[in-house]
C-alpha cells in the first residue's frame, strides 16, 4: 500500500467526542510483570523472587495514579489488558496522537511486537467511537515507539522525537510529514534512558525538564538552540534515575513518582504544583507516570491542516 495523505477538516475534528477535560488512555496492570530484559532496569529474576508483593504494589500504585488523574478532572479510557503482554500497561508507547490523528507504533524488540495488533484493533474502535478521526501505520522499515519517543511540545508547537536505542532517526521526518509540524530529533546516548520520555518532559508553560547526560553532544545542542537557558530544568543523576522526567502535566500541576526538594522548588517558583504519586514498582521495567498514560487530546491549536504521509490503517468518514 502506497503512503497516502490525510487532511481532516476543522469541522471533522470538532465532531470528535474529546471534550474540554484532559483525556488519557490507560491499561490496567493485571498482567504487568518483568518477564524479559530489554532495558537495563529490567531484572526478571529479581521480580520473580518478590512477584506476589510487587504485583500487588504495582496494582495499588497504578490505581493511585488513575485516582489522581480523575480527581483533577481528567477522563480516562481503558485499553484492555492481555495475558503475556506485560508491557501493554505502558500506553504511552502505543501511538503518537495530535489533532485527533494517531500514528501507531512499531517496536524494535520482538518481545513487544505482539502488542501492535492489539493496539491497532483498539485504536480502530476509538475511531468508530469518534474519539479519534484517523489512525495510520508507519511506513515499512521505520521504527517509532509511540509517545515514549515522541513528545509534543505545545509551547513551541513541535515534536521532540528521540532516536538511538529504540526509534530510528527517519521517524522524525515521518512525524513532520504526518502532522505538519516541526520534528526535532535529539539522539539518546544512555541505554538506561532508552525512550525520550525517560529523559525529557516538555511543559506547556515553556519549561523543559531534561537530563543532559542522557543525550549525545549533538542531541543536546538540538535542545539548547531551541530552549532558552531560563527554560531548561536540568535534572541531577539522582533525579533522573528516579524518573523525574517521566512526568505528566495536568492543568497547572506535574505528576511524578518522586520529586526532590531542589526540583520541587524550581517548579513551584514558576507556579507549577507538584504531585507525587509513587510508581517505583514500574521503575523495575523502566517506566513511570508518563509511560503509563497516553494523551488522546493533544492539539496543535490552530494548525491549518494535518497531512499524513504514513500508511492509513483506518479513517473516520468525513
> Which member of 195, 290, 298, 308 is catalytic?
195
- Residue 249 CB burial class (10 angstroms; 0-12, 13-18, ≥19): buried
Summarised one tens digit per residue, pLDDT across range 188-199 is 999 999 999 999
- In order of their start, the domains of the chain are 10-315 (3.75.10.10)
CA-based torsion, 235, 241, 245, 247: positive or negative: negative
From the CB of residue 145, how many other CB atoms can be counted at a distance below 10 Å? Answer: 28
Q: How far apart are CA 162 and CA 94, in angstroms?
A: 15
Strand bridging mode 75-78 / 95-98: unpaired
Lowest-confidence range among 5-19, 67-81, 101-115, 148-162?
Answer: 5-19
Partners of 267 in the beta sheet? none
Is residue 291 part of the annotated active site? The answer reads yes
Instruction: Note the pTM of the prediction, 2 decimals.
Output: 0.91
The DSSP symbol for 235 reads P
One DSSP character per residue, 118-131 reads: HHHHHHHHHHHTTS
Residue 74: pLDDT over 70: yes
Q: Cell numbers 516538555 label which residue?
A: 202
Asked if 259 and 272 touch (Cβ cutoff 8 Å), the reply is no
Of 115, 92, 120, nearest in space to 243 by CA: 92
- For 123, list phi and psi in degrees, rounded to 5: -75, -30
Order of strands, sheet of 134-137, starting from the edge strand that comes earlier in the sequence: 95-98, 101-104, 134-137, 311-315
pLDDT value of residue 234: 98
pLDDT value of residue 20: 74
Q: How far apart are CA 81 and CA 31, in angstroms?
A: 7
CA–CA distances in Å: residue 118 to residues 79, 82, 229: 9, 9, 42
Summarised one tens digit per residue, pLDDT across range 144-182 is 999 999 999 999 999 999 999 999 999 999 999 999 999
What's the mean pLDDT in 13-42? 87
Is residue 195 part of the annotated active site? The answer reads yes
Of 4, 5, 8, 3, nearest in space to 318 by CA: 8
Q: Cell numbers 538540538 label which residue?
A: 222
Of 26, 40, 38, nearest in space to 81 by CA: 26
Cell representation of residue 173: 521526518
Amino acid at each position: 500500500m502506497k503512503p497516502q495523505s490525510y487532511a481532516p477538516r476543522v469541522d471533522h475534528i470538532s465532531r470528535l467526542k474529546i471534550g474540554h477535560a484532559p483525556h488519557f488512555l490507560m491499561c490496567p496492570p493485571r498482567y504487568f510483570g518483568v518477564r524479559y530484559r530489554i532495558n537495563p532496569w529490567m531484572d526478571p529474576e529479581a521480580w520473580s523472587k518478590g512477584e506476589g508483593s510487587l504485583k500487588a504494589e504495582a496494582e495499588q500504585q497504578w490505581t493511585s495514579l488513575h485516582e489522581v488523574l480523575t480527581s483533577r478532572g481528567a477522563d480516562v479510557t481503558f485499553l484492555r489488558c492481555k495475558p503475556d503482554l506485560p508491557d501493554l500497561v505502558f500506553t504511552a508507547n502505543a501511538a503518537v496522537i495530535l489533532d485527533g490523528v494517531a500514528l501507531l507504533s512499531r517496536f524494535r524488540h520482538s518481545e513487544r511486537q505482539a502488542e501492535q495488533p492489539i493496539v491497532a484493533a483498539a485504536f480502530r474502535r476509538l475511531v468508530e467511537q469518534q474519539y479519534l478521526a484517523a489512525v495510520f501505520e508507519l511506513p515499512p522499515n521505520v521504527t517509532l515507539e509511540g509517545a515514549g519517543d515522541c513528545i509534543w511540545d505545545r509551547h513551541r508547537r513541535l515534536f521532540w522525537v528521540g532516536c538511538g536505542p529504540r526509534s530510528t532517526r527517519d521517524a522524525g521526518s515521518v512525524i513532520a510529514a504526518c502532522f505538519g509540524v516541526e520534528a526535532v530529533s535529539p539522539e539518546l546516548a544512555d541505554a538506561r534512558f532508552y525512550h525520550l520520555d525517560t529523559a525529557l518532559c516538555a511543559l506547556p508553560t515553556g519549561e523543559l525538564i531534561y537530563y543532559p547526560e542522557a543525550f549525545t553532544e549533538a542531541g543536546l545542542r538540538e535542545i539548547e538552540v531551541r530552549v532558552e537557558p531560563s527554560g531548561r530544568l536540568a535534572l541531577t543523576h539522582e533525579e533522573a534515575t528516579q524518573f523525574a522526567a517521566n512526568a505528566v502535566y495536568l492543568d497547572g500541576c506535574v505528576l511524578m513518582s518522586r520529586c526532590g526538594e531542589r526540583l520541587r522548588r524550581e517548579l513551584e517558583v514558576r507556579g507549577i504544583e507538584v504531585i507525587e504519586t509513587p510508581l517505583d514498582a514500574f521503575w523495575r521495567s523502566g517506566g513511570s507516570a508518563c509511560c503509563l498514560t497516553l494523551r488522546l487530546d493533544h492539539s496543535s491549536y490552530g494548525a491549518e491542516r494535518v497531512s499524513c504521509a504514513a500508511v492509513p490503517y483506518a479513517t473516520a468518514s468525513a
